[in-house]
């Protein structure tokens, strides 16, 4: 049975701290967390005292957006109602989804389109003429 989604900060026993949309699930007498688009947030402090945040994906070498965590690996879990944090998270998820699905169809307005043989011939002519 899966509970309703909620935003949470999850501190793992490994020391990692992630922010994500989370749902709890009970399976075979174990509690699992379904974690959607987990992110790591680092605070950046400027020389003039300004503070900003750097948001990165929790796992950088995968395109998956859903992960299962065993509650035995979780040190603590804190549900978040921080509107600013939730908005930063939602903006990040929207922009990462937009970048993943932004495939442009090539057309002549983007520049010259040629097949390999034509391009090779043109480049050889340019090379020989210089």
CATH number for 38: 2.30.30.100
**123 falls within a domain:** no
Residue 87 lies in a domain: yes
Q: DSSP string spanning the chain? A: -BPPPEEEEEEETTS-EEEEEEEEEEETTEEEEEEEEEEEEEEEE-TTS-EEEEEEESSTT----EEEEEGGGEEEEEE---HHHHHHHHHHHHHHHHHHH--PPP-GGGS----HHHHHHHHHHHHHH-
Chain segment 86-114, per-residue pLDDT in tens: 999 999 998 887 665 555 666 666 666 66
Split into its structural domains, the chain has a count of: 1
Has residue 7 got a pLDDT over 90? yes
Q: Of 8-12, 26-30, 42-46, give the range with the top mean pLDDT.
A: 8-12
In a domain? residue 113: no
What's the rounded mean pLDDT across residues 38-51?
Answer: 89
Asked if residue 34 is part of any domain, the answer here is: yes
In-domain check, residue 81: yes
Provide the domain limits for residue 86: 6-103
């Amino acid at each position: 049975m899966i509970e309703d989604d909620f935003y949470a900060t999850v501190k793992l026993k490994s020391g990692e701290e992630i922010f994500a949309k989370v749902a709890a699930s009970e399976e075979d007498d174990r509690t699992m967390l379904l974690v959607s688009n987990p992110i790591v947030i680092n605070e950046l402090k400027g020389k003039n005292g300004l503070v900003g945040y750097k948001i990165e994906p929790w796992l950088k070498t995968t395109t998956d957006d859903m992960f299962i965590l065993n509650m035995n690996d979780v040190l603590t879990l804190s549900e978040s109602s921080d509107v600013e944090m939730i908005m930063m998270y939602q903006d990040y998820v929207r922009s990462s989804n937009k970048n993943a699905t932004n495939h442009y169809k090539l057309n002549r307005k983007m520049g010259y389109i040629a097949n390999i043989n034509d391009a090779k011939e043109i480049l050889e002519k340019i090379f020989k003429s210089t």
